[in-house]
């Protein structure tokens, strides 16, 4: 282990930095200095990247880091002694860091809630002069088509305050490491990222440095990526149209369920075999991540399969809505079955942490000879159940 290299300074982190901060710093520096993308000459980029890799290889491993830290204290004794004799930051510096960090958190909260005008108001005056509000909104809307911000954390980066009394000079920068979790709509997965954000003092206030040069180029890039999503959705629609089963739940898809309905309606017309249709969905009390919604939808489908009769057919009608064909069942029997099913679903979810997340609107209708009419009627009743204050079961006989 080289004695001359300060691994903490190489990764631009504090000696007491947590492991996730070290990881974030490494990813940020790798993006900047990797020979394939760095603006430096190849030889300089390779040299810098080698130092970064060497530092990260040690600091990411707890055992190696403990051993190195002892050596670091000996090799950099003066720095270590000075750090021990005075706090890392004065009270005023701590206040500055807190104020600046609050601004960074507010910025990303605004982006997460798509409050782009509020986010824009936190930028430096120089950035606002260079990038208009209209252009900023267009940029963020283009990004949001690909990446949906699910969560983020902000931690202080490596900062050197220039004033010994703890004050901050005009245009002084404070650095932060931001770690994000985004849903990638193209890859259909959650992705983790880390990058640096800088906050600058402007008069008495703090402002966020945008850190982007060519916004138009970035917008064009994300708008091109958005076309891939459109292509992906088109292909999915095409494939689903020739398939009868839903890829996520394994249930019948809408086409497959309609085929079953048509066959059952033919039996009704020929043998007068009655049947009814139950439509039940899972609703959410607020907006949740795509990953959680899909998990709850999958659980709901499993509960439906477990609870219903073998002669019943279940289909995923759309998103979080399911349709159930119940042969040899009249409207009264369908209502009783829907009540039991709704109570069962509520009891299953009430025993978990998801008890306050969801509700189950439902509607029931009996087939009377016209398939299109019963589907329209059932859709109307289901929407009424969703709007009902207690999401009660709806039928042509009224609310149950």
Neighbours of 239 (CB within 10 A): 10
Poorest-pLDDT segment among 197-201, 269-273, 374-378: 269-273
Percent of the chain with pLDDT over 70: 89
pLDDT at 162: 45
Query: What are the φ and ψ backbone dihedral angles of 98, each rounded to 5 degrees?
Result: -65, -45
pLDDT interval class at 242 (50, 70, 90) = low
Which residue would you say has higher pLDDT here, 30 or 387? Answer: 387
pLDDT interval class at 119 (50, 70, 90) = very high
Which residue would you say has higher pLDDT here, 320 or 230? Answer: 320
326-342 residue pLDDT tens: 999 999 999 999 999 99
pLDDT at 351: 59
pLDDT interval class at 169 (50, 70, 90) = low
Q: What is the mean pLDDT of residues 307-319?
A: 92
Three-class DSSP labels, 195-237? EEEEEEEECCEEEEECCCCCHHHHHHHHHHHHHHHHHHHHHHH
Q: What is the distance between the alpha carbons of residues 106 and 123, in angstroms, rounded to a whole number?
A: 11
Q: What is the mean pLDDT of residues 90-114?
A: 89
Q: Report yes or no on whether pTM surpasses 0.85.
A: no
Q: What is the mean pLDDT of residues 36-49?
A: 81
pLDDT at 80: 43
Predicted confidence (pLDDT) at residue 159 exceeds the cutoff of 80: no
pLDDT at 395: 94
Which residue would you say has higher pLDDT here, 358 or 131? Answer: 131
Predicted confidence (pLDDT) at residue 21 exceeds the cutoff of 70: yes
């Amino acid at each position: 282990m080289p004695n001359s290299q300060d691994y903490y300074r190489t990764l631009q982190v504090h000696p007491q930095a947590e492991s996730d901060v070290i990881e974030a710093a490494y990813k940020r520096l790798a993006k900047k200095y990797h020979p394939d993308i760095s603006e430096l000459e190849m030889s300089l980029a390779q040299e810098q990247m080698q130092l970064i890799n060497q530092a990260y290889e040690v600091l990411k491993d707890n055992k190696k880091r403990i051993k190195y830290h002892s050596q670091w204290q000996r090799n950099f004794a003066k720095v270590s002694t000075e750090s021990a004799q005075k706090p890392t930051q004065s009270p005023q510096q701590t206040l500055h860091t807190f104020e600046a960090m609050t601004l960074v958190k507010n910025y990303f909260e605004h982006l997460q809630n798509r409050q782009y005008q509020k986010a824009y108001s936190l930028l430096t005056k120089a950035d606002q002069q260079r990038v208009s509000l209209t252009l900023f909104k267009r940029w963020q809307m283009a990004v949001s088509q690909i990446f949906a911000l699910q969560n983020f954390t902000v931690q202080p980066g490596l900062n050197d305050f220039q004033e010994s009394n703890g004050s901050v000079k005009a245009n002084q920068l404070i650095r932060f490491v931001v770690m994000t979790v985004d849903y990638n709509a193209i890859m259909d997965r959650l992705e983790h990222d880390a990058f640096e954000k800088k906050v600058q003092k402007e008069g008495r206030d703090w402002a966020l440095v945008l850190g982007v040069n060519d916004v138009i180029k970035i917008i064009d890039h994300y708008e091109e990526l958005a076309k891939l999503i459109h292509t992906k959705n088109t292909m999915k629609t095409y494939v689903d149209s020739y398939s009868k089963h839903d890829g996520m739940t394994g249930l019948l898809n809408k086409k497959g369920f309609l085929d079953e309905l048509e066959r059952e309606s033919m039996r009704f017309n020929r043998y007068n075999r009655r049947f009814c249709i139950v439509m039940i969905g899972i609703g959410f009390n607020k907006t949740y991540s795509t990953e959680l919604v899909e998990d709850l939808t999958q659980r709901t489908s499993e509960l439906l399969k477990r609870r219903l009769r073998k002669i019943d057919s279940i289909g995923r009608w759309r998103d979080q809505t399911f349709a159930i064909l119940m042969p040899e069942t009249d409207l009264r029997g369908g209502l009783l079955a829907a009540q039991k099913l709704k109570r069962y679903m509520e009891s299953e979810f009430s025993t978990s942490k998801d008890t306050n997340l969801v509700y189950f609107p439902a509607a029931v209708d009996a087939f009377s000879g016209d398939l299109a009419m019963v589907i329209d009627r059932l859709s109307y009743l289901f929407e009424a159940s969703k709007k009902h204050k207690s999401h009660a079961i709806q039928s042509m006989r009224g609310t149950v």
